[in-house]
Structure 1
């Protein structure tokens, strides 16, 4: 990295997930600057700066002297491009928690060369959607060409945040899957299948619902067919206007939501499954992105360009660092 300062700027620090990210960085004793559009909404226990996405000069001032920028301000179709550009101008690596396919793809394609020239890493979709599945798939696919790879997510509830609802309204871009090694538009209506998760989720109906993991996985893994599914009950929750926002139930501010993510790979080495379980998909994005930031800050980190979590880091080692405090992960033959 060109910038040796250890400070991390969190853009969108006043949002639901942004506050989890600030708290996780502080737990790791990593210096933090909170950045957002409204100073009154930013965490009061760290320095705060005001910058809007349409104010390049303010973004430059906010990120000056930092080493990493973590973008938590969705919709990323609007925020990613200006924040990445400002991060690179400031000599900062970039991370975000993007679940949007179009934004993730645009970031990877647009900023690979500029990031390489700057000697910096740009890593979109480093949270629950996009990042976690990419890490699990990277372990399963190591040394193998995968004929079929399937991800399935179970949530006992999905209490959507304000940011999730805004992103859903903004993101009308057609979703894609992978067939014959190429990204193709998802067929409509969305397919529904039965999936058997481990307890407590068990067998349930899941609906085809690809997020940014389609982009992150297909970016660097030789996968011929890739599909993603989400529990039908969770999809119903997030689509219902009356579903409440998440409510904290523990000292960490997490909701009671329990999640499971399965990734199944079929290839020359047989059928293998990776299963991750934990609490609160918004909260777990914080240790994922904070672990990435900590590794980027390590003087031995030398990767540059636009990357995914599975490309940038040793996936198994990365997952091991999150267990058992944030995740439980198991790898089994099927």
Structure 2
């Protein structure tokens, strides 16, 4: 098979490790065998597997210890399936393993037909998620490009609530998700004529600041949605001229209460980001300013600008407003609470 999936087999019994690797190779995979958790960590420092098959009871660093280390120290491996292989078949032990972060549990003696079927199933699931991510990002990129040319039809299908306004806060467009909100309190109100309420000084001030800025900043305004008993975030960023309007802004309505802001782990896996880039991307989507992000991350503003430049390159965006929408386009793929 082309582009063979790489399976890391962590098993301290040499004969069993060799047999498992041989079965995997015969099935068309690339198999890498290691004898314990420390050897696995050494391999992971240099390479990335597509799936990890790991015995629980091993000397030095056992399977649970390895899983904990990976979950704590290697968020970049969060999408790599981790399968436990164990002689312990007790139901509670299996439940405990899955609650501890394992994706599946295979019991010794090894049923190789079951092992291969389980491996194949998990790899297919990862592939489906990757396809869904790529499709969603491509859809968002196309929609943002269409908006710049005054064509809003592509924005209709996006899951984010998006509003486009001019410098006077007149609504040029609101997609179905934004229209469904209708009224989210005093911060942003869309009546039947889709006119923007101008009684929120914070919003108007943020809009003016964004319109006057040449660096592509995004500003955020927190508004209360009484009928939803929680706050909403309005993220405001300038976009290219649309429909003859010299300057326009994109307003993204984010609802943290519905997990509309993806976790850094998901961003890292979906967009091939470094941990710092993923952290910055998540903070941007929450509406933090660059100086606030620098404080949270404990880095300088120069470092924030460096990571932001890399984010633009990796997401093929040019402005923070587009980048924020791009990040939020993954919201439907975030795990539920």
Smaller-chain TM-score bracket:
under 0.3
User: Normalised by the size of structure 1, how large is the TM-score?
Assistant: 0.24
User: Normalised by the size of structure 2, how large is the TM-score?
Assistant: 0.23
More strand by share: 1
Q: Which of structures 1 and 2 has the larger relative contact order (alpha carbons within 8 angstroms, sep 6+)? A: 1
